[in-house]
Structure 1
Amino acid sequence: MSSIAQPTPAPFTGDDYATRMARVTHDAVGAGLDGVLVTPGPDLVWLTGYRPTAITERLTVLVLRPARQPTLVVPMLERPDAEAASGTAAVSFVDWADGTDPYLVAGSRLDPAGRYGISDSTWAMHLLGLQRQLPLSSYVSLTNGMPMLRAVKDARELARLAAAGAAADAVYEQIVQSPFAGRRELDVAAELAELLRRYGHEQVDFTVVGSGPNGADPHHEAGDRTIENGDTVVLDFGGLMFGYGSDTSRTISVGEPPPLVREVHSIVRQAQQAAVEAVRPGIACQQIDRVARSVISDAGYGQQFVHRTGHGIGVTTHEPPYIVEGEEQVLVPGMCFSIEPGIYLPGRFGIRIEDIVTVTDTGCRRLNNTGRDLRAVG
């Protein structure tokens, strides 16, 4: 099978990145912060397009503060790569050399008693280094301090997510043409990974293949178990395409499914559909979880729905917002997240159905569109 050509979305411009940095700086003030500190990871990629070739113990940090030009503190040996990144044209650079104190360099760009949002991926040694340099300063994780940082996608981001979702759909339609009975979970997982790459993904993040009793573990790693006729198989796979994530789950039956499997699958499908129909601007994330959970609980399987209903997706496959009880963040157009209720019967089988959706002005749009029926395969 040859690789599948995918249209390449228009690249992000320097203005796109500058707008993101300006918005984050503005929102930081509204969140009661004196600025934002971003170390290597998804936040830095989203804000600057800069992804260090190797994330090491050397401090790299983007400093965003009101009424100041964004500053990127980088190791001297990595400055050329940082300057060549697609979104750093509007950034001033400050480098430091091995043998000098990077926290002294970074700290000189901060208010000694400031309160800063700091990216969740920051190494503890770097946070502690800044605290030693500025003992009166304080820090809050960006997920807690600015949960909407990357949650609302613009049109170019949505185009990438839609392309990734369509590619994942094509992978599913391809994989169900292959035989399952007599193959190991690992073999099916390897085929899923290969198909994701062939359909345009540059990175494969996960290929869950949970057959029979293994399907009752929501995060089962594909193993040596041989898939048998009569098994129910949970397929959950995704990765990055054009830098943005895909994530979809379908449950199939190898051969004719027994009545209990049909019953449980129907309940999960109803729960997923009800949750999708509940999505609209202005309601809290937790309400979507409640809708899905109530359908499953009313059917008598509430104790077997053991995880949240969904998670955000963007430059990573798991990010805020989280669709779970206690998350009071309201939905706004442009948010993208999964809706993936499931029922898991230990020692027997599991069922999960997952789509990525994006919030629109009036409801939501699915970014996965393969059939949600219980498909029988060979």
Structure 2
Amino acid sequence: MLYPPDRLYPPDRLYPPDRLDRTREAVAAAGLDALLLTPGSDLRYLTGYHAHALERLTCLVLPARGEATLIVPRLERPAAEASPAPGTGVTIVDHADGDDPYPLVRKALGGPARAVGLADRMWAAQVLALRDALPEARQRLAGEVLAPLRARKTPAEVAALREAGAAIDAVHAGMGRWLRAGRTEAEVGADIARAIRDAGHETVGFVIVASGPNGASPHHATSDRVIAAGDPVVVDIGGTMPSGYCSDSTRTYVVGTPPPDFAAYYEVLRAAQRAAVAAVRPGVTASSVDAAARSPIAGAGYGEAFLHRTGHGIGLDGHEEPYIVAGNALPLEPGMAFSVEPGIYLAGRHGARIEDIVVCVDGGVERLNTLSTELVEL
């Protein structure tokens, strides 16, 4: 597909021309001779090109020293040229069907390569083909270089995430139109998916509508279960905006009057989520934010019911660095954006989760999802 028009975030803001230069410096500092990036978020981050993942090779060759080359199938060249990629300074080279494209990679490197960083999610067939084409080059992960760069969002990226947060908040604000007793989770989920697109998302990433006992399964999607009066319902939704940046937010609802035990532990969860958000500031570790969420929940006797990490980074991918999890000693820096989403899950009964996307800023934190975290009774 052609890169979609983006009136709020023009390519020269989301994909600044100096990004390739800064990445080259990081490539050299990591002891790599080049990055080799096939379609995915890393390629889009560096060039703005949202390429199809095909059996035909598309590959950005970014040497530590030298010009960047974007190798594309000939039939995809118009899409590459219509993307922001030419404005970032890359040279586009194409290959015809039936030709071996891998010698083009070797040529674009400009000389011998001892170590190259491959896109973390490159297809295995391409990994092995590059191993054959560059037998002298040790293969490492491009994420060693790109993950730290991508974790620190620019002001334009934060603005794109802020727009995504407002769009998904608008969907949650309309939940009362769809979520009610007598409807199935799948019916409600279909309405939510349409609303995600109507709110400005280009694609729907996921829709979780987990009612009653299904709420105790953190990654339940939807089912034919009929929502009943008194059911707590976990709704976790997200998508991708035309900018390429993602949304992700969870709120927990109850249809009618909540069960007494649920209302009690929901308040524990709400306090834990507020504490974790408040703990975010430059210099604190990712693990300390996780601990801030976990401590109130464990103190109330629900520690074993908090089944997952507190959060994940977000940007061009729904899950990326930094991960807010025990043992991660990474100090937070301004521009790091991630979820804060503690949960309590009681198997066979119900569950709850509250999720906001936040960004670490000078002096503290900004919530990019701004809806109240109070339990909503529908």
Query: TM-score when scaled to structure 1?
Result: 0.93
Letter in 2 for 1:127: V
Check conservation: 2:232, 2:258, Cα contact below 8 A: yes
Q: Deviations over 1:77-103 (max 9, x none)?
A: 322321221232311123223333222
Match of 1:72 among 33, 50, 70: 70
Aligned residue type for 2:9: A
Post-superposition CA distance 1:265-315 (Å, at most 9, x none): 111111111111111111222221122122222222121111111111112
Paired residues for 1:196-345 under 5 Å: 196-242=196-242, 243-345=244-346
Q: Distance in 1 between matches of 2:76 and 2:259?
A: 59
- Where structure 2 has 5 or more consecutive residues not aligned to the other structure, the ranges are 1-5
The separation in 1 between residues aligned to 2:93 and 2:270, in whole angstroms, is 53
Distance 2:27 2:282 in 1: 23
What is residue 83 of structure 1 aligned with on the other side?
A: 81
Structure 1, unaligned runs of 5 or more: 1-6
Letter of the 2:358 counterpart: V
Which residue does the alignment assign to 2:3?
A: none
Alpha-carbon separation, structure 2, partners of 1:298 and 1:127: 48
Alignment of 1:1-378 (within 5 A): 8-13=7-12, 16-52=15-51, 54-89=52-87, 90-110=89-109, 111-242=111-242, 243-377=244-378
Of stretches 13-22 and 130-139 in structure 1, the one that deviates more from structure 2 is: 13-22
What do the CA deviations read for 1:326-373 (whole angstroms, capped 9, x no partner)?
Answer: 323221111111000001111110110000001100111000111111
1:31-74: CA deviations, max 9, x gaps? 2322211110111112112123x321111111112231111122
Q: Which amino acid aligns with 2:265?
A: V
Aligned partner letter, 1:26: E
Partner-residue secondary structure (3-state), 2:210: strand
Identity %: 48
Given that 1:142 and 1:149 are in contact with CA atoms closer than 8 Å, whether structure 2 keeps it comes out as no
Deviation at 1:14, TM superposition (A): 8.1
Counterpart AA for 1:332: E
Q: 2: distance between equivalents of 1:163 and 1:145?
A: 27
| Equivalent position amino acid for 1:55 in 2 | A
- 3-state SS in 2 of match to 1:68: coil
Q: Distance in 2 between matches of 1:303 and 1:116?
A: 43
Q: In the aligned structure 2, how far is the partner of 1:234 from the partner of 1:15?
A: 33
8 Å contact kept, 2:13–2:156: no
Per the alignment, do residues 144 and 306 of structure 1 end up closer, same or farther by CA in structure 2, a change over 3 Å counting? farther
What is the CA-CA distance between 1:178 and the residue it aligns to? Answer: 4.2
CA distance in 2, matches of 1:14, 1:280: 25
Tell me the secondary structure at the aligned position of residue 127 of structure 2: helix
Q: Is residue 58–residue 70 contact of structure 2 (8 Å, CA) maintained in 1?
A: yes
- AA aligned to 1:131 is R
- Aligned-residue CA RMSD (Å): 1.8
**Residues 320-329 or 190-199, more deviating:** 320-329
Deviation at 1:145, TM superposition (A): 4.5
**Number of aligned residue pairs:** 370
- Helix, strand or coil at the partner of 2:129: helix
Distance apart, 1:15 and its partner CA: 9.1
